Structure 1
């Protein structure tokens, strides 16, 4: 928070705002400690600085603004700071925190007195006071961090939980059948991989499943989750669980329930074994070819499961849930999005890894793409099949992906397949826009920006590239939008839709314009374009016809011209 922002907050206090109204996760206001005893004042100040420095450093950073009462408002709340020593405050912070915190301390002179802003940066480490107390800023409060909460905080700060190890779990806990399963996965996804030539021990070391720690070979937590014996996993990693429910008529009472605390590769395979018998397939017949379109494509389900496994928060005691019904498949995993990823940018945000070692193992296997293209692939496959794209609903404390088995758009699937066979290399952005226009008459640059999860400039470039091939532009300026061309609509069996969305006949446009003039008394060229959805030259032509009919007369010249009855 810079000085300008702080001064704005001070002005809000003067104007009647209370501290409660302006405080936040990154700002707190406090009276500068004052006591008849100088030593008591120093102790209070030192305690205050230590607590807030630790709390802010362990969260997102923040500013402690000293010299303002936190329980009143108006100018009386601004009491200022007296008899302070900036260098001494810095020493208090440095000596009173572990690891030491270095803060920026700034004096801000106001007419009511001197205020002091203590600015604490966000830290990649976990800090405590010199007495061992650990705080974290949560909302407008400083909360104590208890030992059971530290692992979650470490993960939030970048600590890799899966790269750690458990003292009582050694490499003898590895299930050799799971090692064989691991080799099968590598052969499936990267058959030419050199690591297949290694013996089991060297293979596991090359993947990071076994690591030398303090001079001893240790089974990492990632390795335990992937290859551990079932009983060892149940005893030591109860959160390494997947739960599968299948529903038929009711979304409340499952007809099948399975709870699995198994090695991860085995769990993923079993989930697909449960899904496959109920995964109906539709055949698209084209000449001598038949293209199977499953309700839930296997590669899409695999990507969704791998994302859940790789990105979930293993410090939470919850499970991964897979819920299958005739109309949808839901996969949810514990832990919210991290690193700036949200449900609104999951398609385009650079990959952020909560469990780096586990992610790297799946990358080396070849099951997960290093570039974080899993979500892209899910979108591409579903849209190519004429299906709805994956959905990511907003859920606190979890990430969920929903795969719909709704309306199957065979005409769109045929069109996409035919173009691909003809040599068109589909870009994902094209598929998303076509899917949108299949269900909507038009799309604006803003609409495209939202569904593509791109900037408006990037969305505009995509629309321009598609213009003349699949799209045609309608209108000008801010009113510009795009619609499918006659050829595209004809190809997907909606030739009559073009006539409907193309707009009104000229006679209808003239009548629409007359109605507007009757209501408003006059009209400009820009208003004509907006009312009738035409360009500048077309608007001039419509206006000229009304002038020739004697319905309106021109007033003014050039840019100031308008037309009235």
Structure 2
């Protein structure tokens, strides 16, 4: 961004051109209006937002941009402007708050004073307090639409707010309670003893939370006092609601506590209504929470670590009777979506904060957080989590599904036989606990894999671990739990293994395939294991559904009318 001195020199060019010709991505000229002071305030706010969203720059007030000759173009601004008041107005009317630099320069023309307003683009996107905004594109300010705003947030990977320096003595900002809580969690995570034994300054310095005698914002978020965080990172907040319905709640709490304490507070609230089921196993009685503690801890840390610290909003935990909903400000990073989140490599928005928590052994940078959430639920036979993007927030939902003791014991028995199931296999088994069958396309969707990977997964579960059985052939093939697996997991249900496919199910599959392509008698025989006569009989029964035979002999095909 150019300097104020460079802008002063640029004014001399007004002798040969108009100010509009000098404008650029980082520079604009505006005339000060005599109509009302309020109109000028609105213009300053609008232009500060526009320029900040465009990457930063300067707005020079007091210059008419369509008039040639310096003496004519430079009109000036009032000489008695209260720059502190102007700065305060912009700060109050922008979100996240903008704090521009205001500088008056002396000129011989007009009122003798020009005002230069300078902004950076470090925390874009910015809006005014009613949510509207513009963004600088070349020499124009264009509306910052939802798609443009999402693109800005998603693509700004290199801008890490948490790595910025807090220019105040760290000893006045640090929370002894936060340091104690961090050490407690480090010990639980089996952090190295040489790290745990460090004195406070040495610990903060060794992990990178301090830069000289200053906290980074990431360091402040982990170790800072609540009032310091609220003052210096006002866009940060956590919140809890115990909900009676979608609109009413009975418990509410909010705070600006550092992340370790915020996580502790949210876990504490949840623990007051997280029903426990006791399962007897020999002489032991094991207790299992409705929401596994591992899933909750990982979900909360993910929310605080990956939230967008450039925009205002709370990491919000809403606890309903039958579910938990956890939201955090920010959209999915580029390339990540709810359909690939299990296996997509980690793309941290806040690299510095992630590094600090990783060095403290509180998180893992290898994208193990999301799989851990899935696994902790799936091994107990519970529903997997559900992610979605809602506006400018990411929402995670956990269903209060019951423990399936038989399934947990089944997984433990497999482990004792050195058969360790990964998340993909658990997702397939979980699906088959609630559905009778699964095909390759469904397995690809459920396990978040491509078609070839899903086919390989089902083959492995059939041939190696013998958890599944394949039914049918070719395109009509699907998979069920093997008899052994079903006997263990579905003891209360009768298991009837059919050598051939269920006739009504086959009819539905044939109709589905015929919507996409014609089939020969041989293709249907290969798919079902039926003989030619059986296929002919079923096709005859499907004539009322629009199935007809076209051609004769081996060249004949079955097709759908009006396909």
TM-score when normalising by structure 1: 0.65
Shift of 1:235: 2.2
Whether 2:449 is the aligned partner of 1:454: answer yes
Deviations 1:234-293 (A, max 9, x none): 32223332111113x434322211111112111111111111121111122233343322
Q: Choose the corresponding residue for 2:477, options 475, 480, 495.
A: 480
Answer whether contact 1:186 1:193 (CA < 8 A) is retained.
no
Distance, in Å, in 1 between the alignment partners of 2:519 and 2:155 is 62
Q: Residue 531 of structure 2 aligns with which residue?
A: 539
Q: Residue 301 of structure 2 aligns with which residue?
A: 306
Partner secondary structure for residue 325 of structure 2: strand
Whether 2:310 is the aligned partner of 1:318: answer no
Counterparts of 1:494-513 in structure 2, within 5 Å, are 496=493, 498-499=495-496
Answer whether contact 1:303 1:378 (CA < 8 A) is retained.
yes
Whether 2:340 is the aligned partner of 1:345: answer yes
Partner secondary structure for residue 224 of structure 1: helix
Unaligned ranges ≥5, structure 1: 1-38, 60-123, 128-133, 514-521, 547-554
Distance, in Å, in 1 between the alignment partners of 2:519 and 2:183 is 74
Decide whether aligned partners of structure 1 residues 47 and 284 sit closer, same or farther in structure 2, where only a CA change above 3 A counts: same
Q: Residue 172 of structure 2 aligns with which residue?
A: 172
Distance, in Å, in 2 between the alignment partners of 1:281 and 1:334 is 31
Q: Choose the corresponding residue for 1:356, options 335, 351, 357.
A: 351
Partner secondary structure for residue 278 of structure 1: coil
Deviations 1:62-102 (A, max 9, x none): xxxxxxxxxxxxxxxxxxxxxxxxxxxxxxxxxxxxxxxxx
Whether 2:257 is the aligned partner of 1:265: answer no
Answer whether contact 1:486 1:495 (CA < 8 A) is retained.
no
Distance, in Å, in 1 between the alignment partners of 2:461 and 2:154 is 46
Partner secondary structure for residue 203 of structure 1: helix
Decide whether aligned partners of structure 1 residues 509 and 423 sit closer, same or farther in structure 2, where only a CA change above 3 A counts: closer
Counterparts of 1:154-169 in structure 2, within 5 Å, are 156-168=156-168
Counterparts of 1:12-27 in structure 2, within 5 Å, are none
Counterparts of 1:345-424 in structure 2, within 5 Å, are 345-424=340-419
Shift of 1:142: 4.2
Decide whether aligned partners of structure 1 residues 502 and 392 sit closer, same or farther in structure 2, where only a CA change above 3 A counts: farther
Q: Choose the corresponding residue for 2:434, options 430, 439, 443.
A: 439
Decide whether aligned partners of structure 1 residues 316 and 486 sit closer, same or farther in structure 2, where only a CA change above 3 A counts: same
Whether 2:291 is the aligned partner of 1:276: answer no
Decide whether aligned partners of structure 1 residues 562 and 328 sit closer, same or farther in structure 2, where only a CA change above 3 A counts: closer
Distance, in Å, in 2 between the alignment partners of 1:50 and 1:238 is 27
Distance, in Å, in 1 between the alignment partners of 2:253 and 2:54 is 39
Answer whether contact 1:449 1:458 (CA < 8 A) is retained.
yes
CA RMSD, 1 decimal: 4.2
Q: Residue 223 of structure 1 aligns with which residue?
A: 219
Answer whether contact 2:326 2:396 (CA < 8 A) is retained.
yes
Deviations 1:209-232 (A, max 9, x none): 1013xxxx2111111111112222
Shift of 1:319: 0.8
Distance, in Å, in 1 between the alignment partners of 2:304 and 2:250 is 25
Decide whether aligned partners of structure 1 residues 168 and 494 sit closer, same or farther in structure 2, where only a CA change above 3 A counts: same
Partner secondary structure for residue 167 of structure 1: strand
Q: Choose the corresponding residue for 1:427, options 403, 419, 422.
A: 422
Whether 2:236 is the aligned partner of 1:244: answer no
Counterparts of 1:3-18 in structure 2, within 5 Å, are none
Shift of 1:423: 3.0
Q: Residue 192 of structure 1 aligns with which residue?
A: 192
Shift of 1:504: 5.7
Shift of 1:371: 0.6
Shift of 1:544: 10
Answer whether contact 1:155 1:354 (CA < 8 A) is retained.
no
Shift of 1:389: 0.6
Answer whether contact 2:437 2:478 (CA < 8 A) is retained.
yes
Partner secondary structure for residue 472 of structure 1: strand
Deviations 1:266-324 (A, max 9, x none): 11111111111211111222333433221111111000000001000111111110111
Q: Residue 121 of structure 1 aligns with which residue?
A: none
Answer whether contact 2:173 2:224 (CA < 8 A) is retained.
yes
Decide whether aligned partners of structure 1 residues 425 and 135 sit closer, same or farther in structure 2, where only a CA change above 3 A counts: same
Answer whether contact 1:171 1:210 (CA < 8 A) is retained.
no
Distance, in Å, in 2 between the alignment partners of 1:482 and 1:204 is 54
Deviations 1:143-173 (A, max 9, x none): 589xxx9xx7698241110010233464421
Decide whether aligned partners of structure 1 residues 302 and 544 sit closer, same or farther in structure 2, where only a CA change above 3 A counts: closer
Distance, in Å, in 2 between the alignment partners of 1:178 and 1:191 is 17
Shift of 1:45: 11
Answer whether contact 2:290 2:402 (CA < 8 A) is retained.
no
Distance, in Å, in 2 between the alignment partners of 1:163 and 1:421 is 45
Shift of 1:415: 2.5
Decide whether aligned partners of structure 1 residues 525 and 229 sit closer, same or farther in structure 2, where only a CA change above 3 A counts: same
Aligned residue pairs total 421
Partner secondary structure for residue 201 of structure 2: helix
Q: Residue 231 of structure 2 aligns with which residue?
A: 235
Answer whether contact 1:171 1:219 (CA < 8 A) is retained.
no
Shift of 1:361: 1.1
Unaligned ranges ≥5, structure 2: 1-15, 28-49, 56-120, 125-133, 510-517, 539-550, 559-563
